[in-house]
Amino acid sequence: MSILSKRLFSSLVKDYRSSYGLPVRLMDCDGTVLLPENVSPPENLVTLKQTRAHNLAESVRWGEPQAFFIAPGIMEWIVPLMDRAELRGGLCGGGVLLEDDPHSIQVAVNYLVAEGARRQEAEAFVEKVPDFGQERVREAAENLYDLFYQYSGWKPRELQRNRDRMQQQRQIAQEIHQRKVEQNRAYPYDDERILLSLIRVGDRAGARGIFNKMLAAMFLYSPKQVVVRARAIEMMGYLVRAAVEDSPLMEPLLERHMKWIEQIVETQDFDDLCNVLREALDDFMNSIFLQGVAPVSPAVGKALDYIAANYSEPIALDDIAAAAGLSTFRIAHLLKEATGKTALQNIHYLRIQEARRLLESSDMSCTDIAYETGFGDQSYFIKQFRKWMGITPAKYRKSFRA
């Protein structure tokens, strides 16, 4: 079975070529070019296939397009074709010559010949490669990523999780380096209160920044895994205790807290611990965002917990009522009374918060974010985002990054 239909591939290639004047190749997970079918022989040299396959794996690990040299001076980039957690292949863009230098062109030809290509075929292959500015390589790679997932409708959830994880690791590494320079190994207890304050006001990006700073401090205070785990359990315990003290109806957090502790105890290394804590923090923030105003009954708490766990999927009022053990009329009334928002508005609230996070921390297109957060339709997503935030998603991303 083909990875993509020829019709979809042809439409994508046409759009991409009109924007960048570059070819696109569909490849299997082992680096073999599948489409177009008439590629030049050097395209499927064993070394080039191995290079593409390696960078496809790296692209999945980092959760983003990967640019790499396929031969001296010739750069390509690759986009993983992933539907949820299943890798089906990759799209390869380029190649391009980064330097307009006859010497580097000859070096590339000699490299291909050494790897098994005929000289005439190698020269013909290199002659087709256009010159390209290095700054535009990243733009072209990201555009290919956006274009594919817009055309296909696939949801690269595993890629997004990997991108979040690698971004967290970068932030932690920067904080560790800074603390070593400053010779500061003390644990920042005050940051726990700052973290909780940021969570309460819905500042996810700020909360994650403080959270990663605290993880770096944990590691520097004592790199021993058992000590870091103990610190992590202590930190999550503080957050849960403070939340329950604010609202006794946040009691369901205690049960989830026990599950988080079990996962923390089972972690094998610091990276594994960071992944578990990132998921626990997201779960905790979802609950706090929804129940920031104390509900008037346990039933409302159950309803909001259900919404927090399922907001990215289609949710009917009947489902919320069943989770709360009340009629649809009764739970709709209680939700409005307790939170000031209807059931649908509470769902949209969480979806918009998650959309904000994706706009801030990823390069996903608005179409992808619409599907990822449960809106399903890009125009409806943009309408709701503007309604809640007073600005379009594109302008929000631009202003945030500025």
Mean pLDDT, rounded, for 259-267: 89
Task: Please give the residue that has the higher pLDDT: either 187 or 117.
Answer: 117
Long-range contacts from 204-208, C-beta under 8 angstroms, 24+ separation: 204/285, 204/353, 204/356, 204/357, 204/360, 205/356, 205/357, 205/360, 205/361, 205/400, 207/281, 207/285, 208/168, 208/171, 208/278, 208/281, 208/361
Q: Tell me what pLDDT residue 56 has.
A: 92
Closest by CA position to 229, among listed 261, 257, 256 = 261
Domain spans in the chain, listed from the N-terminal domain onward:
6-154, 155-294
Closest by CA position to 89, among listed 32, 45, 36, 165 = 32
Q: Tell me what pLDDT residue 246 has.
A: 67
Mean pLDDT, rounded, for 197-208: 75
Q: What is the tens place of the pLDDT at every residue in 169-189?
A: 887 887 777 777 777 766 677
CA gap 92, 53 in Å, rounded: 11
Is the pLDDT at 80 greater than 90? The verdict is yes
Q: Tell me what pLDDT residue 79 has.
A: 93
Q: Tell me what pLDDT residue 290 has.
A: 64
Task: Please give the residue that has the higher pLDDT: either 304 or 14.
Answer: 14
What is the average pLDDT score of the chain? Answer: 83
Q: Tell me what pLDDT residue 346 has.
A: 87
Q: What is the tens place of the pLDDT at every residue in 29-78?
A: 988 888 888 888 888 888 889 999 999 998 998 888 989 888 888 889 99
Q: Tell me what pLDDT residue 90 has.
A: 92
Q: What is the tens place of the pLDDT at every residue in 205-260?
A: 778 888 888 888 888 877 788 888 888 888 888 888 877 776 666 677 787 888 88
To the nearest 10°, report the CA torsion of 293, 297, 299, 305: 20
CATH number at 6-154: 3.30.450
Highest mean pLDDT among 128-142, 245-259, 260-274, 278-292: 260-274
Is the pLDDT at 295 greater than 60? The verdict is no
Tell me the Cα Rg of the chain. Answer: 25
Pair 52, 78: CB distance under 8 Å: yes
Q: Tell me what pLDDT residue 157 has.
A: 79
Is the pTM of the predicted complex or chain greater than 0.85? no
CA 202 to chain centre: 19
Percent of the chain exceeding pLDDT 90 equals 7
CA gap 238, 37 in Å, rounded: 59
Q: What is the tens place of the pLDDT at every residue in 321-350?
A: 998 888 888 888 888 887 778 889 889 988
Closest by CA position to 95, among listed 87, 105, 103 = 105
Q: Tell me what pLDDT residue 293 has.
A: 45
Closest by CA position to 156, among listed 271, 60, 56 = 60
